[in-house]
A and B are shown apart, each in its own frame.
Chain A
Amino acid sequence: MTAPALSLTDLSIAFGPEIAARKVVHGVTLHVMAGEKLAIVGESGSGKSVTALAVMHQLGRAGRIVGGAMRLDGQDITSLPESACRELRGRKVAMIFQDPMTALNPAFTVGRQLVDAIRSHDDPGRKAAQQQAEELLAKVGIDDPRRRSGQYPHELSGGMRQRVLIAMAIACRPRLLIADEPTTALDVTVQAQVVALLRDICASSGIALLFISHNLDLVAEFCDRIAVMYRGRIVESGSAEAIFGAPRHPYTRLLLDAVPRPGRPLRAAAPAPLAESPGEGACDYFSRCRLADVDCHVRPALRGAGTHLSACWRSLT
């Protein structure tokens, strides 16, 4: 068995100055194999984006890793000098973001930006890079790539721009592609196309995908495994079938019920806090949980048989 494309072991991340550090990710462990599609699902502030930024070494000055390890292709990347980080980004890991408007430079044609991305690592020369750029554009489903590569970002629709960004991300054949809510700013029909494109790229090139979203319905459509995060911890993880078919954590259940789906009446989510949290060591979901009792004053660990794990004393079955 080969090493996973990405493996995070007990990763903890904190923000702020040393003395008043605020931990936002607590001991996250997850593995993504080559060609596998893993989704991290959670609400804003759950730590899902921060985890992704940590892998990219893009936490900025305020954030840092305070525990655990990250391995990419078996190589430890927990702490790297800046030069190695640059090497890592783009060639080993690439990321696409929520807003395709701001991720492209409006002053240059998309072809030029794509060529620059290709040449920034193994430079094959301008001609060859141009050729590759057009091939990439064709690969991400942009028709007439020659004409498109001469256009500026504002001449393309949001869906097209996201396709260009995907082309840029896979230009250097990374091992891992991180997609942080890549479809949130797009229309539903375009969202379906972008998701299909990501699925096809992973299938054909063996790139591992880490897909970050708050929409369980969307990720269950194409991801192999799902990790649900809440307040900086993974509260449930398992195959998409297991999580979707038999959710064990009440928070996962809430997320599933919250998505409006045709042909199913809307169920109102739990209103704001039900109960005061009993303290530091308690289950983070305590205040919103309908099933909470005295057991939950102690935070449950992630456990379970096989690959379907959940962090709940009263796991739903």
Chain B
Amino acid sequence: MTHAQGSAATLLATVSAGRRYPLAHSPLARLFDRRTTPALLGASLEVQAGDVLGIVGESGSGKSTLARLLVGLDRPSSGRVLFEGRDLSSFTAADWQRFRNRVQFVFQGAHTALNPRKTVACSLSEAFPAQPTPGALNALLAQVSLGPELLDRLPHQLSGGQKQRIGIARALARQPEVLIADEPTSALDVSVQSEIIALLQQLHRERRLTLVIISHDLGLVGAFCDRVLVMYAGRIVETGPAAQILAEPTHPYTERLVAAIPRGLAGRNRPADPPLSEAARHGGCPFEPRCSNRIPICAQDEPPEILLGDRLVACHLAPSRAIIAETNS
């Protein structure tokens, strides 16, 4: 992140990419009303080839906006998005074509991910650059463990898990190197969820597919990803190896997230999380109103990102807490 971008294996990167949406809907109204709402405030990240990166955060944290920027569905209003060191905004049509072949997206398995009036065969055929042969379609379905009998079905005739597999197959049609998945399992039952995760893991193993998984479920991301990026209020607040972040979260928000993961019997009688005040903040640390460790400076200065070992944390207290943790151990 803070290291210079452009190491050989870096595929995708953002450099303090931000996105603000105008409040006014029409361009005419925008002439008079220039107010905007920020969805993402300066996020920097790097995706290396072969990475399994998880992006976690609650709704409104900007994680989906970041994902849409990464795949070119949306343009940043500040900062840059780079693919192999080149800014997406400088892409020509041919560049986009190549980019689409290498970076693909899996949508949340909700009902709108597939066109309700198109058969599976039709939806998948469109995903290929040229009209595929029947054999290619069957092979694509086989990659996501589905049989060719589904080809002439319509989306409403598929189960939730099947729909999500079709969604993954559609993204795989161009044999991309990077797959970005936005909440790939949140619309599914737990048992189906684990099947989809197993499928993604298998794709990563067998095809060295680089994966970026966006989720609100830290448990899922922690169990699946190598590296985790925690987002809060449009900012990245903590980055680091998944195992470390789950075992000893540094940022107080990450701490909260980890504590909130349901743990079955082990989670019985754990102290209740105090309700949080939800006041909006301008200036200072975005998490300050909800933070139980806050100190006066938190209300004034936005914390810088501090590098602690493998981790990057945006918290004023992170260095002192790291020292305490070290002396304790």
Contact = CB atoms under 8 A, between A and B. Distances in A.
B217 interface: yes
Contacts of B260: 188-189, 191-192
A54 interface: no
B261 A188 contact: yes
Interface in A14-67: 43-44
Interface string A242-264: 00110000000011111111111
A160 B277 CA distance: 10
Interface string B10-22: 0000000000000
A188 B222 CA distance: 14
Contacts of B278: 157, 160
Given A188-B257, A269-B195, A44 B189 contact: yes
B329 to A, nearest CB: 18
Contacts of B267: 217, 220-221
Contacts of B246: 262-263
Nearest to B275: A141
B224 A260 contact: yes
A218 interface: yes
Interface string B111-130: 00000000000000000000
B191 A244 contact: no
B275 A143 contact: yes
For B217, B264, B276, which residue has the most chain A Cβ atoms within 10 angstroms? B264
Among A142, A200, A214, chain B packs the most CB atoms within 10 A around the CB of A214
A261 B217 CA distance: 10
Given A196-B273, A262-B223, A263-B246, A269 B194 contact: yes
B145 interface: yes
A268 B259 contact: no
Nearest to A267: B194
A288 B90 CA distance: 51
B262 interface: yes
Interface residues of B, number: 44
A47 to B, nearest CB: 14
A216 interface: yes
Interface in B269-308: 270, 272-273, 275-278
A241 B264 CA distance: 9
Contacts of B217: 188, 260
B201 interface: yes
Given A43-B191, A260-B219, A261-B223, A189 B198 contact: no
Nearest to B221: A260
B218 interface: yes
B73 interface: no
A158 B278 CA distance: 11
Given A143-B275, A192-B259, A263-B246, A241 B265 contact: yes
Given A255-B191, A260-B217, A187 B263 contact: no
B155 interface: no
Interface string A207-245: 000000011111011100000000000000000110011
Contacts of B272: 192-193, 196, 200
A221 B273 contact: no
Contacts of B58: 187-190
Contacts of B59: 158, 187
8 contacts: A189-B276, A193-B273, A196-B272, A215-B262, A220-B267, A240-B268, A262-B258, A268-B198
Please provide the 5 A-B residue pairs with the shortest distance between their CB atoms, ordered closest to farther.
Answer: A268-B198, A187-B58, A196-B272, A260-B223, A43-B189
Given A188-B260, A221-B263, A269-B195, 19 more contacts: A43-B190, A141-B275, A143-B275, A189-B260, A192-B260, A216-B190, A217-B262, A217-B263, A218-B262, A220-B264, A254-B191, A258-B190, A259-B264, A260-B193, A261-B264, A264-B223, A266-B224, A268-B194, A272-B145
Interface of A: 43-44, 141-143, 157-158, 160, 187-193, 196, 200, 214-218, 220-222, 240-241, 244-245, 254-269, 271-272
